[in-house]
Amino acid sequence: MKNWKKVLSKSITTPQQLENLLGVETKDIERVISKYPMRINPYYLSLIKEKGDPIYLQAVPDIREIEDTRGVEDPLAEEELSVAPGIVHKYPDRVLFLVSYQCAMYCRFCNRKRKVGKTGVNWKLIREGISYIKANKQIKEVLMSGGDPLLLEDKILFQILSELREISHLEIIRIGTRVPCTFPYRVTKKLANILKRFHPIYIITHFNHYREITPQSEMACSILANAGIPLFCQTVLLKGVNDNADTIKKLMRALLRIRVKPYYLFYPDYVKGTAHFWVPVEKGLEIMKSMYGWVSGLCIPFFALDLNKGGGKVPLFPSYIEKREKNKWLVKNYKGEVFEFSLV
Ligand SMILES: *Cc1c(COP(=O)(O)O)cnc(C)c1O
Ligand code: SF4
């Protein structure tokens, strides 16, 4: 396999390259990427079939990113909640650790649009983050994210993981990465051999459409799964990309086939520059309703909302309760039939 960095360096980053390929308006794109960078690597580019398709919408800048003023830069108040460089400590027992702001593709809907492709991380900052984790014994889990941690070079990853594993109170290392989906060439056997030395390692990847599941992404997931790494997926509900039951069901089933367990289906965050992807909450609930009972429970994610101002994640469920009278519950099943339910 070719060197992944070489392949990544052939990414599209200027409007002129895009104009030749897809006939987009270079002036608009120029304006957008002066604020939010673009990077479309050759692999992800090859998945685009036509202008406006679900792959295109995730990768190609849209003038609405700068013209639509709804939303805020940091709705989850991550900057405010940051207790050390790159560390967001919101829940008592686990922290988010932002170790890289590079990605193999800059997703247009990203909730860290304010940072990706712009901010840098260096060893000094990473060390300070690790020191914070070391000093706080209640931290049992670290969620490495960014950006994409797997855009770090193997030897840097190895170094970070080694230092984290020296912390005795730290039990779980979770890595959030989109490369199995957007740039599967990054997932080499060498990478898997490094990761598996630091178990228990969990990977949460991020697929949004069944067309992202290809022989290459399947291979990447299989290399990781064969290294004993449990794989999960978070998906963002996005207008025009996957906001219908059929697409989500196909995606979730396909993920299960490549040994990835759907974990979260996120309602989009209130991020500036992403409003053209927003959908009503009811849409998500309706999609969830089309899954419970109708598809394998294994491939049903939690539909969740990350509350503004750092309120945290809350699951949203469609209601199956029709009525409650004293101890008698009337419950509707997935087919809409009503059942009575009461034990005590
Ligand atoms: C999402 C998130 C986590 C992880 O939450 P889980 O529900 O355990 O997946 C941890 N910390 C922060 C700051 C987060 O945003
Ligand atoms: S890979 Fe993740 S962090 Fe990077 S741009 Fe996409 S959504 Fe944002």
Q: What CATH number did the domain enclosing 206 receive? A: 3.20.20.70
Say how far apart CA 25 and CA 16 lie, in whole Å. 9
Q: Could you tell me the CA-to-CA distances from 77 to 109, 112, 146, 184 in Å, in that order?
A: 17, 11, 15, 31
- Look at residue 1 in the predicted model and tell me its pLDDT: 53
Q: What values do phi and psi take at 166, rounded to 5?
A: -75, -10
Testing ligand 1's pocket by substitution, the residue of 136, 313, 314 carrying the most ligand atoms inside 8 A of its CB is: 313
Ligand nearest to the CA of 271: 2
User: Which ligand is closest to the CA of 90, given by its number?
Assistant: 1
In a domain, 41, yes or no: no
Ligand 2 centre to CA of 330 (Å) is: 43
Closest-CA residue, ligand 2 atom 6, reads: 107
* 17-35 average pLDDT score: 89
Residue 24: the pLDDT is 86
The mean per-residue pLDDT over the stretch 110-136 comes to: 94
Residue 33 falls within a domain, yes or no?
Answer: no
pLDDT digits (tens, 9 = 90+) for 142-190: 999 999 999 999 999 999 999 999 999 999 999 999 999 999 999 999 9
Q: Determine whether the shortest distance from the Cβ of 90 to ligand 1 is under 6 A.
A: yes
Q: Whose CA is nearest to atom 12 of ligand 1?
A: 96
Kindly state if the Cβ of 148 falls inside 6 Å of ligand 2.
Answer: yes
Check if 64 has its Cβ closer than 6 Å to any atom of ligand 1: no
Band (22; pLDDT cuts 50, 70, 90): confident
pLDDT tens track for 82-99:
999 999 999 999 999 999
Would the pLDDT of 227 be above 60?
A: yes
In a domain, 64, yes or no: no
Closest CA to 266 of 278, 276, 258: 278
Query: Does residue 313 line the site of ligand 1, with CB under 6 A?
Result: yes
Which ligand 2 atom sits nearest the alpha carbon of residue 145?
Answer: 3
Tokens representing 223? 């290399």
In a domain, 121, yes or no: yes
* Long-range contacts (CB closer than 8 Å, 24 or more residues apart) made by 190-193: 190/154, 191/150, 191/154, 191/157, 191/223, 192/223, 192/224, 192/226, 192/227, 192/229, 193/227
Q: Give the number of whichever ligand sits closest to the CA of residue 95.
A: 1
Q: How many Å apart are CA 264 and CA 315, to the nearest integer? A: 9
Burial of 148 (0-12, 13-18, 19+ CB in 10 A): buried
pLDDT class for 340, splitting at 50, 70, 90? very high
User: What domain range includes position 166?
Assistant: 69-319
- Domain membership flag for residue 34: no
Assess if residue 343 is contained within a domain: no
Average pLDDT over residues 7-12: 96
Does the beta carbon of 265 lie inside 6 Å of ligand 1?
no
Give the pLDDT of residue 187.
98
Indicate the number of domains in the chain.
1
> Is the separation of the CB atoms in 114 and 82 below 8 Å?
no
Exposed, middle or buried: residue 260 (CB in 10 Å: 0-12, 13-18, 19+)?
Answer: buried
Give domain status of residue 160, yes or no.
Answer: yes
Q: Which ligand is nearest to the CA of 86?
A: 1
Distance 258 CA to ligand 1 centre (A): 24
Q: Are 224 and 187 in contact (CB under 8 A)?
A: yes
- Whether residue 343 is predicted with pLDDT greater than 90 in this model: the reply is no
Ligand 2 pocket residue status of 107, Cβ below 6 Å: yes
- Give me ligand 1 centre to Cα 55, in Å: 26
Q: Is residue 328 part of a domain?
A: no
Beta strands in the chain (DSSP E): 82-84, 87-91, 94-100, 141-146, 172-176, 201-205, 231-236, 260-266, 302-307, 312-315, 321-325, 328-332, 338-341
Give tens-digit pLDDT for 243-297: 999 999 999 999 999 999 999 999 999 999 999 999 999 999 999 999 999 999 9
pTM of the model: 0.97
Tens of pLDDT, residues 290-331? 999 999 999 999 999 999 999 999 999 999 999 988 889 999
Ligand 2, atom nearest to 147 Cα: 3
The mean pLDDT of 225-248, rounded to a whole number, is 98
| 151 in Cβ contact with 100 (< 8 Å) | yes
Ligand 2: which residue has its CA nearest to atom 7? 110
Res 2: pLDDT:
65
